[in-house]
Structures are given as C-alpha cells and as structure tokens.
Structure 1
Amino acid sequence: MSRELKPTDWLIAASQMKGIGRQTLRKILPNIQAIPPDLTSLRQNLPEEVEISRNKRQQLLQLNRQQVISVKEMLKEKGIGAISIFDPIYPKNLRNIPDPPLVLYTLGNLQLLRKPMLSIVGTRIPTNYGKQITFHFGRELGNEGFCIVSGMAKGIDAEAHKGALQTCGGTLAVLGCGIDVVYPAEHSWLYKEIAVHGLIVSEYSPGTKPQKIYFPERNRIVSGFSLGVIVVEASARSGSSLTVDSALEQGRDVFAVPGSILSPQSMGTNKLIKDGAKLITQIKDVIDEYPLHALSKRDGLKNDSEITGNESKLLDIIENTQSTFHQLANASGLPAREVADAILRLQLRGKVKQLPGGFFMQVQKEGLTNAKCIINNRED
C-alpha cells in the first residue's frame, strides 16, 4: 500500500476516534484539508485558536501518521471503501445539505454516485398494494436511469431496492449502522445483492451497531443524495416523516402516492398530499419533473451515435445467439457495471432487445426500446 497520505486519510482516521463527532471534525476541517503529504502528526496542524474542548484536543493531538496508515490498511483488508467530503466523487447534492456526512464508508459500485438519484421511503409494514407500487416505481425509475436510494429497512425500503436491482439505474442503500453490520438481519441476502450490483454507504465507523438515534441521521443522507423523495405508504406517525422533514429543509421535491382513506398505512401519505406534496399515480408524474435526467427524454443517445469498443464487443458476442447479462459479462471479460452501461445504450438505440428470461439479442430494426437491463430477477 502506498504510504502517501491525503487529507481524506487523516479525516477518516480522525472520525474513527472515540468521542470525536461531526461537530468537532467540522471545526478542524480546514486544518485537516491543509495537511501536507509529509505530515507525521496532527499535532503539527492543530493550532491553539481552534475552539474545541481540551480533552478532544489532547485526543486529536495523538493522531499520527502510523495510525492513519493502520486505518487505511484495516479498511483495505475488510474490503471497505471510504470517501470524504474532500473527494471529487463526493456527490454535489449531498455536499450542499446543512449537515453533510464528512466521511462515507462504501461497499459496491461508486459510479452510482454520478447518477441522478431519487429516494423511495415508507412504512415498514406495507400493504400488498404498497409493495407492488414500490417495486414498480423502483424498477421503472431505474429503467429511466435514476439510482434509487433507500434505507434497507423492512417494508417499503426493501421493495424499492428489489425493484431497482432489476435495472441499470441501480440502487443505493444508506445504513443506520456500520457498513459491515447487516440490519435487519433477515436482509442479509438483500445486503449481499446491493453490495454486488449496487452501492451501500454509511457514515458510521465499521462495527457500529444500530441505535435509534442513527436512523434520523441516516434519513437526512437518504434525502440529501436525492433530487426528490417519493413516499409510497406511511402511517400518521411514520418515520418517513423525518425523511420528508429533511427533504424540505434541503429543498428537495416531495412526492406521495395516494391510498385508501380507510388504510392506516395511507394516512401519512394522504396528509402529505393535503399539505402540498405532489400526488403521483404513474412514473410519468415523476420523470416529467426531471426531463434532463430521464433516459427517455435525453438527447445524445441517438441511433446513429458512434458505437464504443465495449458496445461492439457485446454486439459480436450476441450476433448469432442470445445471452443473459451474466453470460455477457463472462464472455466479454468486462466489469458488470461496464456491461450494464453498454447494453443499456445499445437498447436505447434499438440495436439490442431483451427477451423473456433476461436474454438479450441483436436486432436490425432502429428505434427506441425499453431501457431494461435485468441484473437480478428475484422479486420476493
């Protein structure tokens, strides 16, 4: 491992120190950002005029180069990524909220951070109606190129992730615990699927157990990533209201799916509509708000666009046969995310179409097809 250290490395290591929270780190952020590559101890870059408590100062002054290197090596051994607010890949939307996370631990495809995002939230005890609507919205918005963000909780969150996993838009799960802690435990399979085909993030150090206070903090990140928040089903006193509060504070759009006036699970969403949230009953209601982001509305993906090397390679593979997504990845030797991007662009040009069972075949007819890229057919 390279021994060259960046301000991000020092910030990540400092954030893992016991008793050092976001407020303290925010006060010393300019000092960390100005750290030179050859710094040996934080003692050299923490002047007396920085207003933090004596105990926290003494603790931070102990942070040295070897400890920072040890944290980097520990994360690498565990296969955990980490980015900070200093990094270019850190999403602009999230950076601009009132209280952005300074560090994000990651598992999965960081390229999803470059996609337009929409979050879907709701009750942990949805009706069958709520489950069906959520899965449908997650899948179809993913097909439009949006990355679907949620909190991997039971109910609506899980359905949103499952729907989006079937698309090239992908899904991002924000945890209210350490990145290496699966909560709830019964979502172990979902956690693994998102880690492989999507992205998992957490602002909490690895190993951090879930606590009630962490979930409202997580919700501000769910909405912070997103252009807008979609609430499918929520009771009158739903935790989703905290996400909506964060969304409104952050200037995000709020959408709500109407439900039966007799259903307790729809009392919260119906009230949101009365209070001014945009009522939505179809995908078009959402994508019409973001014409520059939806794939079906974008220019620049025309049939006569130049074929890239990856696209040409996939066309050669399926010239006289039919292949699944995983067969294309294996035969081409390309990373899964590159196969997903290439096959989606070929579909949008009408050069490839998808058949039942998740198979892809080459077509001669020009035209726009549904932007679907099945990665995982699991729906239960």
Structure 2
Amino acid sequence: MHAWPASEVPALPGQGRDLRIHDTATGGRVTLAPGPVARIYVCGITPYDATHMGHAATYNAFDLVQRVWLDTKRQVHYVQNVTDVDDPLLERAVATGDDWTALAERETALFREDMTALRMLPPQHYIGAVEAIPGIVPLVERLRDAGAAYELDGDVYFSVESDPHFGGVSHLDAEAMRLLSAERGGDPERPGKKNPLDPMLWMAAREGEPSWDGGSLGRGRPGWHIECVAIALDHLGMGFDVQGGGSDLAFPHHEMGASHAQALTGEHPFAKAYVHAGMVALHGEKMSKSKGNLVFVSKVRQDGTDPAAIRLALLAHHYRADWEWTDQVLQDAVDRLARWRAAVSRPDGPSADALVEEVREALADDLDSPAALAAVDRWAERQQAGGGTDEGAPGLVSRTVDALLGVAL
C-alpha cells in the first residue's frame, strides 16, 4: 500500500533540541535521544469514514515529532498501518450496501488526500492489515505453540498472564480494563476465556465475512492488536522510540500490543515511549464515528478553508489536551494565517534568529505548539509595528514555520 507525497522540509540554521515528551507508561516526561535513525510507529485509521478533526489532531502531533527529529539532523523511520479489515468496516459496508474492499479503498484514498493537503509527512511504510496477514499468522502460531495463546471454538486468544509486564502501559486496575475492553472492541463477557481481558489474535472464519488462509490456525482474519505488532516488529524491531496514537488507544490497543510483542520476543519494552494525543470534541462530546458528531477535514476543505488554517487550528491546542472544535477556533486560525502571511510578505523585518530558537525550544518541551504559535505571533506584531530592517527575516520566519510547524506561508 502506498502512502502520500512528502512536502519538502526546509533546512534551518543551527540544530534542534532533543525532544522531551510525556510518556504514558512512566507517567512523566522522558528525553528521547534516538540514534541516527529515529523510529516511530503511529496507529492508522480503520477506513470506514473520512478523516475527522480528531484524526487530524492525532496525526498532527506525530508529524511534529518527526519535524523535531529532522531538525536535530536525524533520519526518521516512520511506520503507519491501515486496519483495512475489521468489524466496524464490515458493519458499515453492510449498512451502506458497499463492497467492503471498495469502501476501504475509497476512504483510504480520501485520507491520503487530507494528509497531503495538511502537509503531514508520510510514513516510509504504510501497511494494510490485509497485506500483513502473511506475517501475522506465524506470530500467532508462535504464541500458541509457546503457551501464550489458546484456542476457543476455533478462535485464538492471547493470554495476558503470559506477559509479566502486562498493565505497564496504561496502569489501569482490572475493573477499569474490563470496562474499556467491552467499550473498545474486546469481548470480556465471552464464556470460556482464561481471563476476561484476553484479546483475540485470530478470528476463525464467519459465514458471509472475508477470511484468509491461516495455516495451522485455519481460515480466518487477524485480531486488531497483533496486526500492529506484526507490522512494527517487521519494519522497526523491538525497542523503537515512540508508539503513538490517540489517548483512547492506550488501553486496550497499546497495552495489548506491547504484551504480544514482549511475549513473542522475551524483550521489554516494545517501545521506549508511549505518546498519546488528546481527544477533540464537538458540542460537548468527543468526536466519534459511533456518535456521528464529526467534522471532516475534507468537508472543511471543500467549504473553501485553506488547509494551512486547519493545521493552525490544530496547532493552537496542546497535543495532549482534550479540546472542542468550534467555528471560532477555525476563524481564529484563519485570522492568524492572514496576519502571518501579511507579515512575511514584506521585504524586511525584525531579526528572526531568536524566533527560530523559541519555536525549537517550545516544540522540544513536550510539543508545546501553542507556545510556538505565540512566538510567531510576537514576531508578526513587531513586524506590523515596523520594528526591523533585516532583509532575511521574513524568509527565515517562513522557513521556520514550514519546517517545524508544517504550515506553508
């Protein structure tokens, strides 16, 4: 599966700072100091609907991570999946009368268009669950053969008790895990499971649903968590730098994925840091496909909004914060974009050397994009007041905003 085109990232004078970021697993900030190649895995979409602002906010956060790393002169090895077969996708296809593969392809294509418009840097490997099945099956077989998985009426479940580190990502108690498991795709009430929290690794073929050859597992399709584990281990290996996604993935998805990988390899941790973006609400409730309270990136673009303004609306909120999308949020971003473009359109202006360092420091400090925007605002205000004659300043500001914030002025 192919990703989307990459926009050029301008080089800036000097060098960026190592990223200090909040790690869900430790509950505090860690300083990420990868080697020459930084490794990141971000969980992708289940393509049964278009990209909404909650998606966009999450991918914006991890785009900033990439940009901070690139500014430190590192290479970035970024991997993202597409869950192109799963219950929600199949259910939507039945409800709409679509072929499930056509639905997945259409919504994945729209996602690519949105990511391109928002200037999100693409992954080097963009892998669908279906194309990953040949690599998933041997992992499930290994877990079963090692006693870390078991069969139940043809389905294969992972035993969470096989990983001594289980619970180390989310740090939730058993009751909280059980409630979230039921809410987020698990089946804690199914009779016969060794532990109510045990997640499915391989679902035996159901009548009327797609299935694939699973070797000794029989025909079926993979569970959600093992999909990401197989892709991450194949392309990044154990101990990669950042596992990313929305805060609703901390449990069960990232918790279970970590345990799958740790049981498979005997190594810990699966990822050095677990980084989670906050949720975006509309009319007081988290945007979700199940509730239908969505603001789609493609619709806002079709209404004539510059994608750079959409990106500024996302950047105006700290990535870990829960916040609400409103018309005013978007209007504030449109106004800010206009001020910035007017400021850099002049032939000279106040020196921007300090601004570059301010933006770098803000982003290195747990991706504090609101502080970075405020720094650019202050430069634009000085420019408006006629405070300088540096002919290189407007161009340097434009390159800084482009390279570090992903906004083209």
Relative contact order (C-alpha < 8 Å, sep 6+): which is higher? Answer: 2
TM-score normalized with structure 2 length? 0.26
TM-score normalized with structure 1 length? 0.28
